[in-house]
Amino acid sequence: MANNLRYDNQVVVVTGAGNGLGKQYAKFFASRGAKVVVNDLGGTFNGKDQNKGESRVADAVVKEIKEAGGIAVANYDPVQNGEKIIKTAIDHFGTVHVLINNAGILRDVTLRNMTDADFDIIMDVHVHGTMKTARAAWPFFKKQRYGKIINTSSSSGLFGNFGQSNYAAAKMAVVGFTETLAKEGAKYNIHCNVLAPGAASRLTQTVWPPEMMEVMKPDFVVPLVGVLVHESCKESGSLFEAAAGHYSKIRWERSEGLLLRPDESLTAGTILNNWNKITDYSNADHPTRPANISEFFEKASALSSNTASSPLSLKGRVALV
């Protein structure tokens, strides 16, 4: 069973499913019993013709799925009109269970040469598009107390990449958006995760050598997505990488840090003198929420009024100077 996960009676929406990763997701879910909405506007990789609405690539994937005995319907709307994509799922299949926000474009240019249009189109497709489809699917997820979302980020967003500040900004926005959806969806059994994939596609063919394209098949990314949106998977609010058969999870790390008394000793000079404490990861933790500021404040204030209370113990969390 574990080798053959199934999605019978599940309605799966895949955006940007006419090419690359999206096409492989769509074919996979259809081959495992799902009813699939194949969304794609059939544009170029750099989004120069986003408004054309060319149906050929989505139709070709639907045809392939149907010929293999699967169930699929095409949608040609841009993800910026995400409510229309979800409407296609509702009109044809009655609901939606899984949303894979995968559509994407690149408009690589260094900041110095970037126009507003270069930035805006990237934010539009990746951030607005992801929000629009998720917001439209949400009421159905909530009502049926079940929903799975995969939003697509990128190593460029997580780590930065030369010439991609627009794309990096959008892809990091997708992370914060998804972490928030995971929190909002928890009580409704809605699970939301982020994927940073790596795969041979038209987005990468100009930057990677042919031998790399061979080991970076989109097919190798698909199984992780299959697991994350399977009904047995409870993972939510997490960030995964998948490329060339390697799968990993990424998380935040917070150093133990430095806590200063709220008095005249709290200066830039004191911070500089203790820089190693702020940046030392040896007693780090892996937070999923902000630091406990009120706890810090109480402890630091207590020390301020009674300096004899040193050494400070904040359950081993904070170093005091």
Q: Is 171 one of the catalytic residues?
A: yes
Which of 129, 109, 108 shows the shortest CA–CA distance to 50? 129
Q: At its nearest, how many Å lie between ligand NAI and the CB of residue 295? A: 38
Which residue among 70, 78, 147, 257 contacts ligand NAI (CB under 6 A)?
78
Site size toward ligand NAI, by CB under 6 A: 34
Interaction between residue 70 and ligand NAI (CB under 6 A): no
Three-state helix/strand/coil letters over 248-307:
EEECCCECCCEECCCCCCCCHHHHHHCHHHHHCCCCCECCCCCCCHHHHHHHHHHHHHCH
Could you write out the DSSP letters of every residue in 86-140? HHHHHHHHS--SEEEE---------GGG--HHHHHHHHIIIIIHHHHHHHHHHHH
Interaction between residue 185 and ligand NAI (CB under 6 A): no
And the tokens for 73? 């319907």
Which residue among 10, 154, 164, 165 contacts ligand NAI (CB under 6 A)?
154
Phi-psi category of residue 189: left, alpha or beta, with phi > 0 → left and psi -120 to 50 → alpha: left
Q: In whole angstroms, what is the distance from residue 98 CA to residue 229 CA?
A: 7
Interaction between residue 75 and ligand NAI (CB under 6 A): no
Interaction between residue 39 and ligand NAI (CB under 6 A): yes
Sole window of 37-45, 137-145, 249-257, 307-315 interacting with ligand NAI (rule: CB under 6 A): 37-45
At residue 64's C-alpha, the angle toward residues 63 and 70, to 5°, is: 90
Nearer to ligand NAI, 105 or 175 (CB): 105
Which member of 7, 25, 167, 299 is catalytic?
A: 167
Which residue among 11, 14, 16, 127 contacts ligand NAI (CB under 6 A)?
16
Q: Is 183 one of the catalytic residues?
A: no
Interaction between residue 105 and ligand NAI (CB under 6 A): yes
Interaction between residue 257 and ligand NAI (CB under 6 A): no
Interaction between residue 224 and ligand NAI (CB under 6 A): no
Interaction between residue 108 and ligand NAI (CB under 6 A): no
Sole window of 36-44, 227-235, 282-290, 297-305 interacting with ligand NAI (rule: CB under 6 A): 36-44
Which residue among 37, 42, 119, 132 contacts ligand NAI (CB under 6 A)?
42
Q: Are 254 and 277 in contact (CB under 8 A)?
A: no
Q: In whole angstroms, what is the distance from residue 22 CA to residue 78 CA?
A: 14
Q: Is it true that the peptide bond before 209 is cis, omega within 30 degrees of 0? A: no
Interaction between residue 57 and ligand NAI (CB under 6 A): yes
Which member of 84, 171, 217, 281 is catalytic?
A: 171
Catalytic positions? 167, 171
